[in-house]
Amino acid sequence: MATFTLRSLNGCRNIVPKRLVGLPVTFSGYLPQWNATSDFRTSHGNMAKKEGVRKEYDTFGELEVPNNKYYGSQTVRSVLNFPIGGETERMPKPVIKAFGILKKAAAEVNKEYGLDPKLAEAISKAADEVISGELYDEHFPLVIWQTGSGTQSNMNTNEVIANRAIEILGGELGSKKPVHPNDHVNKSQSSNDTYPTAMHIASAMEVHNTLLPGLNNLLKALRAKENEFNAIIKIGRTHTQDATPLTLGQEFSAYAQQIEFGIERVKNCLPRIYMLAAGGTAVGTGLNTRIGFAEKVAAKVSEYTKLPFVTAPNKFEALAAHDAMVELSGALNTVACSIMKIANDIRFLASGPRCGLGEISLPENEPGSSIMPGKVNPTQCEAITMVAAQVMGNHVAVSVGGSNGHFELNVFKPMMVSNVLRSIRLLGDSCNAFVDNCVVGIEANRERIDKLLHESLMLVTALNPHIGYDKAAKIAKTAHKEGSTLKATALKLGYLTEEEFDKWVRPEDMLGPK
């Protein structure tokens, strides 16, 4: 908790309503490293590098900024205006990294169009420090819940890079000389095209670095189990009731195919994610850019990331709509649905160990109960299905955000990208944990599988071609009513001989077409 005395700031009269001036307030939001005894005018304590504050200004007036921070007045103003959610709601690190990549690319391209090479080089070096992540914790305090265009995060990046570049060149932090956050770092750009560009860069990189490796790991593990279990015949189930036989390998082949298709769905989204809005500036016209700027920036981003980014063919669409993000989120949602089905099947097949299906055994990773000694639970299945549920919820939010592009700009950008990135990370991480701590250790309980197989009444389906559906149904219903076996009941009813039953009712012959 931090207590502040509200007072108007010089040149910033509108920031504090008149009715609140002079009143003490308790602030419970996230105000990074601000001393609890400071006032609203941003006195800063606990300096790590330099003590005290400096004066910086924006179009609303002057604010005090901690000397040990590279951000400037617009970042401070955003911290004060959007105390929503706390540190856990900060702008995702992949977005900040993507901004660094974009700003570096823009500086290099702007140099071709006349930006002083010394300034461009300093901006590029500062951007490298943003890309590496070393500046994230201390200098990027803003939360997701800000302006829907991401303007404050764009300016946060501009201010950090500008001040770091000034420092590299031996200047004074906050002076905006010789590097200006708007005139130089943001040259030929607008928040309206830089933020969606960062959204796409971050999403594509995280798909390649986190999601696809996790999904491929899961696919490989499921294919291995498919091969391992291919000769184990078990009873099938439809409507959660007994059905005709299949192999455990065939059952696992469905799981593997779901994940393989999921990987394809994600990859099929990427061509639209690779299209970058940079060069559209405010509304998509490209005002204040130069011919070729958009294409050159996309080429630079592609060079830095080793991914095939291109300039968006229609910048108006790239700013006003984020259908590509909704599409990617939809693919993630489909993967989540697949995972929910697979993990639920696995935990039900492993139910027991004595009073459930018990056809497979899962690794025993930790005690399952604080009161029932010896209990072990399918915790990896539970974790990954919770992830699946969260991803489905994230997709709802992304869908709402995507549907709210108004005229020339969608203003749900930070919420959309944060949910997509969260889904990517959760799915990638949970897939790896599920493989390492569950799938690779799954074992088939052959004795239990065989017992359930031969107790099933649905083996009677093999008799349909020989005695007809009605007689086969009579055998099954009578056997169930009398608690008898299919064979004994068939012989009792006189529908076939023992030799015929043994010849026709063979589970190993019921695994595919004749």
Residue 479: partners with Cβ closer than 8 Å, 6 or more residues away: 457, 485, 486, 488, 489
Could you read off the pLDDT of 168-192 as tens digits, one per residue? 999 999 999 999 999 999 999 999 9
Confidence check: pLDDT of 158 > 80:
yes
Is the residue at 19 inside a domain? no
CATH number, domain at 70? 1.10.275.10
Are 468 and 493 spatial neighbours (Cβ–Cβ below 8 Å)? no
Is the residue at 16 inside a domain? no
Could you read off the pLDDT of 441-494 as tens digits, one per residue? 999 999 999 999 999 999 999 999 999 999 999 999 999 999 999 999 999 999
Domain that holds residue 466: 457-509
Residues 284 and 370 in one domain: yes
The Cα 437–Cα 426 span in angstroms is 16
Average of pLDDT values for 135-151? 97
Question: Sign of torsion, CA 83 85 86 91?
Answer: negative
Residues 432 and 480 in one domain: no
Catalytic one of 369, 403, 406, 480:
369
Q: How many CB atoms lie within 10 A of CB 86?
A: 12
CA angle 421, 422, 425 (to 5 degrees): 85
The average confidence (pLDDT) of the chain is 91
Average of pLDDT values for 160-171? 98
User: For the chain, how are helix, strand and coil distributed in percent, rounded to 5?
Assistant: 60, 10, 35
Cα distances from 268 to residues 219, 274, 277, 321, in angstroms, run 18, 11, 20, 19
Q: In the chain, how many domains are there? A: 3
Confidence check: pLDDT of 377 > 70:
yes
Residues 337 and 200 in one domain: yes
User: Residue type at 144?
Assistant: I
Average of pLDDT values for 180-206? 98
Residues 370 and 465 in one domain: no
Residues 302 and 337 in one domain: yes
Strand intervals (E) in 350-501 = 360-361, 405-406, 409-410, 443-444
Higher model confidence: residue 17 or residue 313?
Answer: 313
User: Residue type at 374?
Assistant: G
Residues 342 and 491 in one domain: no
CATH number, domain at 342? 1.20.200.10
> Is 445 strand, coil or helix?
coil
Strands 275-276 and 310-311, bridge-based pairing: parallel
Residues 120 and 242 in one domain: no
**How high is the pLDDT of residue 51?**
76
pTM of the model: 0.90
Which pLDDT band, with edges at 50, 70 and 90, does 373 fall under?
confident
Is the residue at 24 inside a domain? no
Residues 145 and 275 in one domain: no
Active site annotation includes 78: no
Is the residue at 44 inside a domain? no
> Is 252 strand, coil or helix?
helix
Average of pLDDT values for 138-155? 98
Average of pLDDT values for 288-309? 98
> Is 185 strand, coil or helix?
helix
Residues 183 and 200 in one domain: no
Which pLDDT band, with edges at 50, 70 and 90, does 36 fall under?
very low
**How high is the pLDDT of residue 40?**
30
Residues 385 and 442 in one domain: yes
Average of pLDDT values for 425-431? 98
Is the residue at 8 inside a domain? no
Could you say which of 187, 210, 232 is where a domain stops?
187
Bond preceding residue 178 cis, omega within 30 of 0: yes
Tokens coding 228: 């391992």
Nearest to 144 by CA among 74, 201, 95: 95
**How high is the pLDDT of residue 50?**
66
Residues 180 and 109 in one domain: yes
Could you say which of 187, 206, 237 is where a domain stops?
187
Could you read off the pLDDT of 248-265 as tens digits, one per residue? 999 999 999 999 999 999
Is the residue at 342 inside a domain? yes
Which pLDDT band, with edges at 50, 70 and 90, does 440 fall under?
very high
Q: For residue 143, which phi and psi values (nearest 5 degrees)?
A: -100, 170
Residue 266: partners with Cβ closer than 8 Å, 6 or more residues away: 207, 211, 212, 215, 328, 331, 332, 335
User: Residue type at 59?
Assistant: T
Active site annotation includes 454: no
Residues 197 and 178 in one domain: no
Could you read off the pLDDT of 212-234 as tens digits, one per residue? 999 999 999 999 999 999 999 99
Residue 376: partners with Cβ closer than 8 Å, 6 or more residues away: 364, 365, 366, 367, 368
The residue with tokens 């043994």 is 502
Query: What burial letters (b/e) apply to 50-75, b meaning 16+ CB within 10 Å?
Result: eeebbebbbeebebbbbebbbbbbbb
Question: Could you write out the DSSP letters of every residue in 346-414?
Answer: HHHHT--SSSS--SEE----S---SSSTT----HHHHHHHHHHHHHHHHHHHHHHHHTTEETTEES-HH
Catalytic one of 153, 203, 239, 361:
239
Nearest to 342 by CA among 450, 459, 219, 247: 219
Could you say which of 168, 187, 206 is where a domain stops?
187
Tokens coding 106: 């823009």
